[in-house]
Chains A and B, each alone.
Chain A
Amino acid sequence: MSLAKSILERQDYPIVSVCDQNGHIGNPELMPKLSDSQLVSIMRKMVFTRTWDQRAISLARQARMGLWATVGGQEASMIGSEAALRKDDFILGSYRDIPQIVWHGLPLYQSILYSRGHQKGFCIPEDVQALMPQIIIGAQIIQAAGIALGMKKRKSDNIVMSYIGEGGTSQGDFYEGLNFAGVFQVPMITMVQNNQYAISVPFHKQTAADTIAQKAVAAGITGVRVDGMDVLAVYKVVEQAAERARRGQGPTLIEALTYRYGPHTMAGDDPSRYRTKEEVEHWREKDPITRFRKYLGRKGLWSDRDEELMIEEAKQAITDALKQADATEKMTVAGLIDSMFEKTPPHLEEQKLRYITRGGK
């Protein structure tokens, strides 16, 4: 297969891949220019994220965490895409996109507080450009267009990275966001993590289109499909889309083909009701961590020992984050009331009084 000068200029939406299931670089010309330490950093984040996912699943079962939308299987699309951004780029995600926000700078303990509904979980540090995940499917895509238009007006060279699932592409706001982004030619990337199911409804019941990437045509923007289990390919595609956006060449829609190994969330979903063991096994053979481990191992950059140490480090960090979350001062109704307006109006001051006089704060 001959490759076009830019992988984003193809119109037939081939699946861009760099590293195959055996850890071999099939397309060396698409290999992103990453230093050894950058490669190792990506692996560390993926292993951390999988360890965190497993721990979060058990914490959610014990009711020590609130909502957890499982991320196992999607590490490459999540971490590869975030790694290709600059620190001052803006991230807008859906509820499964906690890892990208954490790797963008949100302290882990705050993500736990967020899941518990604690307001401190929403307090994004000043140097982290992100909103906490969006629950309303598609709302983040129209907001992304607005943030990106603001960046363009300010003549900054930042971009907005927005995430949604393939189910979310059925929502009107997904298309409105892409259309606005196209009309205003703003620096926005929308990555659709096509993990094949929107809770239980399979991809082919969301759309009659063969790909999500081709939906870019309707908005007059660039579309591309990438192997979402291949962290190097994801990095490369996002890096190119980001460069284009920074140069004023407009938005890109990226479809990353991936799979969620676990349930939709830990709130009672049983995936065996809607998909087969064989299918899960088929996708596990493409596992993003396994193939990257093989690649790094062959280069002498990663060993079993490295991985064991990383898992231990992750477990310790999660334990520390839990302690910090548990030790955070309790949220109060009075504080909640004061978060509604710049200045709390008299009628709300009056409502607040009841909670203070009852001994609350």
Chain B
Amino acid sequence: MAQMTMIQAIRDAMRVELERDPETLVFGEDVGKNGGVFRATEGLQEMYGEERVFDTPLAESGIGGLAVGLGLQGYRPIAEIQFFGFVLEVMDSIVNQASRMRFRSGGRFHSPITFRSPFGGGVKTPENHADSFEGYMLQTPGVKVVIPSNPYDAKGLLSSAIRDNDPVIFLEHLKLYRSIRTEVPEEAYTIPLGQANVVREGGDVTIVTYGAMVHVSLQAADEILKMKGIKAEVIDLRTISPIDIETIAASIQKTNRAIVVQEAQRTSGVAAEVIAQINEKALLHLEAPVIRVAPPDTVYPFAAVEDEWLPTPSFVVDAIIQVLEF
């Protein structure tokens, strides 16, 4: 089996899906000849032609409208938003248009769109390139939101997202693009949306996380095991909307303690939603309040202090100790 980075796995998912369904289209800024600013679409235009893989003018809102319109004509658009920090320009197409298409056409039309976009901090980007805006998407009914943490999941989840007949926001963490290699099958395969993955088993505390924070959490789990012999279970959400509360609740029944780790600012967002759902489904199994590990409620501090701002394993270790000593 081939070893791939996440960017290669993402490209490979688009390749197999372009091959599989002739209605699938890839478009966005610089995705054609240039193969995308991170090379996620490299070679796809050569293989599938300019009719199916093409550049658009530099206008995110226009890209969103184009995706909605092409969806109405029976196409399956994969639209790239060059950086998720630019997503606010295309929010109307996501929140008011694609997500409502079934409702506002009585089921006649739908929006089988995948909005792909790189995001996430720790790689010294310019301003507005690294923000974790996924929380804004959680409050949008009618869209699913997926964030893979490794190359294998990225390919399987992206195939599922593309084949999904409803809009999916697929977020690719910049720091994970080339930092990890895993075995990735060359053929097509899917990983169901809405299913979390227990990436490390343990009986003492549950760590719920996603994206790049999965790796920070795994490192913390190693450290706390060495330090105190504490066995942490790490759950990679993979899909952050809808949240797989069943997997989280099952883990908490075993561990009775949980923390949630996210890269996005503290208030609202995924961690808050996870904790709200834990309250509804697993409160009586808890022996300590669930704690959030998250950066402060500030703007994203590009470059200068981002390494201090972002949660590190030591933040996670501290939180584990806090819930265990409660």
Residues of chain A touching chain B, judged by Cβ–Cβ distance below 8 Å, are 90, 119-120, 122-124, 126, 131-132, 136, 139, 141-151, 153-154, 172-173, 176-177, 179-180, 183, 336, 339-342, 345-347
Listed A/B pairs (18) with beta-carbon separation below 8 Å:
A119-B103, A122-B103, A123-B106, A131-B104, A141-B65, A143-B72, A146-B65, A146-B66, A147-B70, A149-B70, A176-B65, A180-B57, A180-B65, A180-B66, A342-B164, A345-B194, A346-B242, A347-B243
Query: Which of these, A139, A144, A177, A179, contacts B92 with CB under 8 Å?
Result: A139
Q: Are A183 and B51 in contact (CB under 8 A)?
A: no
**Shortest Cβ distance from residue B28 to the other chain A in the assembled complex, whole angstroms:** 13
**Shortest Cβ distance from residue A330 to the other chain B in the assembled complex, whole angstroms:** 15
Q: A151-B73, A345-B242 are in contact. Are A123 and B107 (CB under 8 A)?
A: yes
Determine the chain A residues whose CB is within 8 A of the CB of B71 once the complex forms. 146
Query: Which of these, B59, B97, B164, B243, contacts A143 with CB under 8 Å?
Result: B97
Q: Are B105 and A172 in contact (CB under 8 A)?
A: no
A132–B109 Cα distance when bound, in Å, is 12
A144–B242 Cα distance when bound, in Å, is 31
Q: A119-B106, A126-B108 are in contact. Are A139 and B93 (CB under 8 A)?
A: yes
Query: Which of these, B69, B103, B106, B141, contacts A146 with CB under 8 Å?
Result: B69
Interface hub of B61, B74, B245 (most chain A Cβ within 10 A)? B61
**Shortest Cβ distance from residue B32 to the other chain A in the assembled complex, whole angstroms:** 13
Determine the chain B residues whose CB is within 8 A of the CB of A144 once the complex forms. 69
Query: How many residues of chain B get a CB closer than 8 Å to chain A's CBs?
Result: 40
Count of A-B contacts judged by CB separation below 8 Å: 125
**Shortest Cβ distance from residue A231 to the other chain B in the assembled complex, whole angstroms:** 29
Nearest CB in chain A to that of B65: its residue: A142
**Shortest Cβ distance from residue A197 to the other chain B in the assembled complex, whole angstroms:** 24
Query: Which of these, A132, A145, A336, contacts B66 with CB under 8 Å?
Result: A145
B142 close to A (CB within 8 Å): yes
A235–B92 Cα distance when bound, in Å, is 33
5 other contacts beyond A150-B73, A179-B57, A180-B57, with CB at 8 A cut-off?
A: A119-B106, A144-B69, A145-B66, A180-B66, A342-B164
Q: Are A146 and B105 in contact (CB under 8 A)?
A: no
Nearest CB in chain A to that of B166: its residue: A341
A123–B108 Cα distance when bound, in Å, is 7
A201–B93 Cα distance when bound, in Å, is 27
A120–B105 Cα distance when bound, in Å, is 9
